Amino acid sequence: MYSKSVRFEWDEAKRKANIAKHGIDFLDVPEMFTSLMLVSTDIRKDYGEIRQIGFGFIRARLIVIAFTEREPDVIRIISARKANTREKTYYQEAIADELVKN
């Protein structure tokens, strides 16, 4: 979870494109940061910045987001979409593993 002082930002054209393509509004993404999220670093390629992939819930739907932390209290949303079947399985297994550890 992140503190309430975190500010979210995004490119407005990218937000509109994301709504059209995935039906998810970046305005709803901060909801994910108020509860348990699974976050990993995206190392698939060099983006010129550290990108994170986050798994969490918006209105009871598992959502996958890409984001970067621009400053300690600024999160830039890059994309957001509904998790696919493979990602849902990954999330469930990762959470189960964490529960066993604790």
pLDDT in tens, the chain (102 residues): 555 688 999 999 999 999 999 999 999 999 999 888 999 999 888 888 899 999 999 999 999 999 999 888 999 999 999 999 999 999 999 988 877 776
Domains of the chain (ranges, CATH numbers): 7-101 (3.10.450.530)
* Cα–Cα distance measured from residue 11 to residue 37, given in angstroms and rounded to the nearest whole number: 23
DSSP 30-54: GGGGGS--EEEE--SS--SS--EEE
∠69-74-79 over CA atoms, to 5°?
60
| pTM, entire model | 0.87
